[in-house]
Amino acid sequence: MSSFVDRAQLHAKAGDGGAGAVSFRREAHVDRGGPDGGSGGSGGDVWVVATTNQASLIGFRDHPHRRATDGGHGASKRKTGLTGSDLEVPVPVGTVIRDRSGDVVCDLPEDGDRWLVAKGGRGGRGNASFLSNRRRAPAFGEQGERGEEFWLTLELKLVADVAIVGFPNVGKSTLIASVSAAKPKIADYPFTTLEPHLGVVTIGGGAGFESTTDFVVADIPGLVEGAAEGKGLGHEFLRHIERARVLLILLDLAATGGVAPATQLAVLLDELGRYQPDLLDRPRLVVGSKSDLIADRDHDGAPIDLVISAVTGEGVRVLVGRLAEMVVQARSVAVPAARPAIVIHRPFPEQIAAQRLAPGVFEVIGRAAERAVGLSDLTDDQALDVVLARLRRLGVDRVLARAGARDGDEVRIADLEFTWYRYGPDSSLSPGGPPVEAGPRRRPRSTR
Ligand code: GDP
Ligand code: MG
């Protein structure tokens, strides 16, 4: 079945962890007391949460960036930094999320479905955490870990919440243009010349609705007598009506096409019922248009719920409010179309890997490796011992050897650079090693 597909990009950045503090107790008569630097707080996570209050991805079109807050830094007296707050990004129910390579990483078919997009960085430990019998006065702490950061593609098959049904020239397109804030980008629709117009109506919180609510209105063209038999394009468009939650039947009160309002209504209901009988049970609103053109308000006996004019604006605000109520009500009752049942939650890989940047120059990448070297002062011998032990445990030697690194090659991990030596079968790293000047150097933090 043909469908409208809405697409947008999301850039999610979780909060960075706060740095651990390096601090020593101040005591009377003691030059330097024990270490008392507290740990940094962890950064906030970014989640996506499916909600029925949104019906399109329009909010991401111009503002793709979503960021959770960073953790606070640790402080003296073992004070832990503040934890960054998580960020929940609301997306419409039915949103499918793809990674950069186009693979589906998650889909959110139900109201309330949540997925962790980007994990906040852990806070670094303060120097108080590095106190041991061998290390009486550790003068280094851990840096905060960076929060994860991803570009993702959001994709949504749009379901028209409201389908506007009416004879040609009754004012469907005009009405959509006057009530909708923006038009979603539409792809994959075969009839580019005659595509139904979609509009997104956004109602801010405060208009009697708890939070911002939006709904999609579709202008279904070409519905004329005989559409139910598949004449012209009518049939294609009827398929969109099938999934709409609310039907707006628009009648031209001025009968500019020569058909009286009551007759328009009778023909439309007949078409809908012949196409699919239960469409007649769908919540519907019968609205008379072009009220500015008529003097008498008798409407030829047609049972009209509301009268509007796109020219004077009469009744339009009331109409939008009524539609929003009906949509919210209909969403809480049932979902008209079957939704995919699978939810794929694929974690992003955490492994470490080595890659050759240039002859004799290698880079080790991966969160675990970056975490291992994230100490505040890598010129401190004790700090370096800690780093080396961590790297060894991670198997960095093996990864480098497999990537073709040889003794004396330069290795970069995050902002640490060192000369690599592998000693014997029981491998170990020698960052300083001869020659002495090849010891660890800090590189400016790369921005990724
Ligand atoms: P559609 O075929 O149902 O999409 O109808 P359109 O929105 O294209 O409108 C057909 C014509 O009716 C246009 O010339 C509009 O300017 C006019 N029209 C639409 N709404 C009103 C209205 O409320 N009052 C008046 N006077 N003209 C209207
Ligand atoms: Mg039109």
> Are 324 and 389 in the same domain?
no
In angstroms, the CA 376 to CA 373 distance is: 9
> Are 28 and 109 in the same domain?
yes
Determine if ligand 1 sits within 6 Å of the CB of residue 259. Answer: no
> Are 273 and 293 in the same domain?
yes
User: pLDDT, tens digit, for every residue of 49-106?
Assistant: 999 888 888 888 778 999 999 999 999 999 999 999 999 999 998 899 998 888 888 8
Residue 289 sits at φ, ψ, to 5 deg, of -105, 170
Beta bridge partners of 184: none
Asked, for residue 429, whether it belongs to a domain, the answer is yes
Determine if ligand 1 sits within 6 Å of the CB of residue 174. Answer: yes
Number of domains in the chain: 3
**CATH label of the domain that carries residue 379:** 3.30.300.350
Q: Which two tokens stand for residue 383?
A: 């700090």
CA end-to-end span of the chain: 41
Asked, for residue 294, whether it belongs to a domain, the answer is yes
In angstroms, the CA 244 to CA 62 distance is: 27
* CA 92 to ligand 2 centroid distance, Å: 27
Q: Which residue has the tokens 């290795």?
A: 411
Residue 222: name the closest of 212, 234, 238 by CA. 234
In angstroms, the CA 276 to CA 247 distance is: 14
- Residues 169-191: what's their mean pLDDT? 68
Asked, for residue 274, whether it belongs to a domain, the answer is yes
pLDDT surpasses 50 at 415: yes
In angstroms, the CA 37 to CA 352 distance is: 30
In Å, how far from its chain's centre is CA 258?
49
**CATH label of the domain that carries residue 151:** 2.70.210.12
% of the chain at pLDDT higher than 70: 79
In angstroms, the CA 433 to CA 427 distance is: 14
pLDDT value, residue 222: 57
In angstroms, the CA 302 to CA 126 distance is: 77
Residue 368's pLDDT band, with cuts at 50, 70 and 90, is: confident
Domain boundary among 300, 333, 366: 333
In angstroms, the CA 203 to CA 214 distance is: 6
User: pLDDT, tens digit, for every residue of 387-412?
Assistant: 888 898 888 988 898 888 888 899 99
From 165, 167, 169, 219, give the residue whose CB has the most ligand 1 atoms within 8 Å, as the site to mutate: 169
Helices 261-275, 234-243: axis angle to 10 degrees equals 80
Q: Which two tokens stand for residue 54?
A: 């949104």
> Are 12 and 113 in the same domain?
yes
Domain boundary among 333, 364, 387: 333
> Are 170 and 134 in the same domain?
no
Asked, for residue 346, whether it belongs to a domain, the answer is no
* CA 170 to ligand 1 centroid distance, Å: 6
pLDDT value, residue 123: 95
Asked, for residue 190, whether it belongs to a domain, the answer is yes
Determine if ligand 1 sits within 6 Å of the CB of residue 310. Answer: yes
* CA 252 to ligand 1 centroid distance, Å: 9
Within 10 angstroms of residue 26's Cβ, the number of other Cβ atoms is 12
- Give me the chain's average pLDDT, please: 81
> Are 82 and 152 in the same domain?
yes
Q: Which residue has the tokens 């995050």?
A: 414
Determine if ligand 1 sits within 6 Å of the CB of residue 249. Answer: no
Q: Which two tokens stand for residue 232?
A: 């012209």
> Are 260 and 329 in the same domain?
yes
In angstroms, the CA 313 to CA 292 distance is: 9
Domain boundary among 298, 333, 368: 333
3-state DSSP percent of the chain in helix, strand and coil, to 5 = 25, 25, 50
Residue 85, classed as helix, strand or coil, is coil
Inter-residue contact 148 to 119 (CB < 8 Å):
yes
> Are 166 and 150 in the same domain?
no
pLDDT surpasses 60 at 227: no
> Are 31 and 173 in the same domain?
no
In angstroms, the CA 4 to CA 195 distance is: 10
> Are 437 and 291 in the same domain?
no
**Residues whose CB is less than 8 angstroms from the CB of residue 138 and which lie 6 or more positions away in sequence, other chains included:** 35, 127, 130, 131, 382, 383
pLDDT value, residue 195: 55
> Are 172 and 294 in the same domain?
yes
From 165, 174, 197, give the residue whose CB has the most ligand 1 atoms within 8 Å, as the site to mutate: 174
% of the chain at pLDDT higher than 90: 35
Q: Strand 353-358 and strand 361-365: pairing?
A: antiparallel
Residue 201, classed as helix, strand or coil, is strand
Residue 322 is which amino acid?
R
Residue-number span of the structural domain to which 73 is assigned? 1-156
Query: Whose CA is closest to atom 11 on ligand 1?
Result: 169
> Are 166 and 145 in the same domain?
no
Residue 433's pLDDT band, with cuts at 50, 70 and 90, is: very low
Determine if ligand 1 sits within 6 Å of the CB of residue 289. Answer: yes
Determine if ligand 1 sits within 6 Å of the CB of residue 290. Answer: yes
